[in-house]
Amino acid sequence: MPDRRNDPFDALHDPVSPRTPDPAFAAALRERLLRAVAASSAKENVMRNEMTARPRNGIRHGDVSYITLGLPDLARGRDFYAAVLGWRYGQSRSDHGAQPDVIIPMIGLWDGEQQVGGRVHGAVLGFRVDDIASAVESVRSHGGTISDPHPEPYALAAEGHDDQGTPFYLHQMPPEDAAPEVGATFHNGEVEGDVSYLTMVVPDLDAARAFYGGVFGWTFNIGLAGGAQVSGVAPQIGMTTRPEAGPMVSGVILCYRVDDVAAAVQRVGDAGGRAGPVVQRPYGLESLCADDQGTPFYLHQF
């Protein structure tokens, strides 16, 4: 058995005795550390974190690739959603648009005519597809109308309407963006201001299921009468013929994640919008609201 009487690790068993370091040594060490931190900070141009690394445009065929939120007044919309959801906006290339930073999925506020035609008050969804030529053919074969594919700076795109007149976009993303890492996931509203859910309001549920199931391969979980949940898409999507928000003929109602729904409801009122009571749902707390231009939306606290 080795002799451990002079083992240097025996010192670890001694009681801890705090000692005051030499002042000159401490000052020199502090100065060296400050210089090192300053030097490394100067070289770091971009701060990376989980938020900036999250996929923002869907990762699968049929996922939502972009949301255009049409509003009558862009400036009012910018101010309202900044106050309620904390949105901050990047530099816009158009006088008619504003895009919030780091929101998932990517959203653009818009007060001009949509590429799908005319002015739209409310959300228009863009969907990611693997092969836009095949998707366009499928839209037409299932009774929808759509433009031919054309290149945009961000994707190959096409604009159309389903067989019940609801506008939408198709996007085939660049190849390097179309192959997510194995096991990659696209989450539903991880931080405040993200989109947590989408409610598609359709005149005829069976017709909508046939169209979108045929075009994107969607499958559905059928819930209460007048409703269906789309399986395996991101963000999560539900379809209904009887929206709580009122007698909308068709459209999309956006739902936003918040950290404190009571505080968010107060902000809605302070910003000139309307907020309904906070109710407990199986998935969390919820409030049905409208912005100061009458656009309905939900707030979710999970």
CA atoms within 13 Å, Cβ hemisphere of 172: 15
Q: What separation in angstroms does the CA of 161 have from each of 14, 234, 278?
A: 78, 21, 34
Q: Could you give the number of structural domains in the chain?
A: 1
Separation between Cα atoms, residue 56 and residue 233, nearest integer Å: 14
pLDDT at residue 53 greater than cutoff 60 = no
Q: What per-residue confidence (pLDDT) applies to 93?
A: 72
Q: What per-residue confidence (pLDDT) applies to 149?
A: 97
Percent of the chain with pLDDT over 70: 75
Close Cβ partners of 217 (under 8 Å, ≥ 6 residues apart):
61, 62
pLDDT at residue 8 greater than cutoff 50 = no
Mean pLDDT of the chain: 82
**DSSP letter at 147?**
P
In a domain, 39, yes or no: no
CATH of the domain at 195: 3.10.180.10
pLDDT at residue 106 greater than cutoff 60 = yes
The model's pLDDT over 11-52, given as tens digits with 9 standing for 90+, comes to 444 554 555 666 666 656 655 554 443 333 333 332 223 333
The closest alpha carbon to 294, from 246, 222, 256, 223, belongs to 246
In a domain, 104, yes or no: yes
Close Cβ partners of 90 (under 8 Å, ≥ 6 residues apart):
99, 100, 101
In a domain, 195, yes or no: yes
Separation between Cα atoms, residue 60 and residue 128, nearest integer Å: 7
Q: What per-residue confidence (pLDDT) applies to 91?
A: 83
Percent of the chain with pLDDT over 90: 61
In a domain, 24, yes or no: no
Residue 74's region, left for phi above 0, alpha for psi from -120 to 50, else beta, is alpha
* Mean local confidence (pLDDT), 140-150: 98
pLDDT at residue 181 greater than cutoff 80 = no
List the end-to-end C-alpha distance of the chain, in Å, as a whole number: 60
In a domain, 27, yes or no: no
Q: What per-residue confidence (pLDDT) applies to 273?
A: 98
pLDDT-based confidence at 84, cuts 50/70/90?
very high
pLDDT at residue 280 greater than cutoff 50 = yes
Distance from chain centroid for Cα 44: 27
Q: What per-residue confidence (pLDDT) applies to 32?
A: 58
The closest alpha carbon to 58, from 135, 140, 152, 155, belongs to 155
The model's pLDDT over 183-239, given as tens digits with 9 standing for 90+, comes to 545 456 788 999 999 999 998 999 999 999 999 999 999 876 678 999 989 899 999
Q: Which of 83-97, 125-139, 272-286 has the lowest mean pLDDT?
A: 83-97
Q: What per-residue confidence (pLDDT) applies to 15?
A: 53
* Mean local confidence (pLDDT), 141-167: 95
Residue range(s) defining the domain that contains residue 223: 54-301
Q: What per-residue confidence (pLDDT) applies to 223?
A: 73
In a domain, 292, yes or no: yes
In a domain, 80, yes or no: yes
Q: What separation in angstroms does the CA of 58 have from each of 1, 129, 156, 207?
A: 63, 10, 15, 25
pLDDT at residue 165 greater than cutoff 80 = yes
pLDDT-based confidence at 260, cuts 50/70/90?
very high
SS3 159: strand
In a domain, 20, yes or no: no
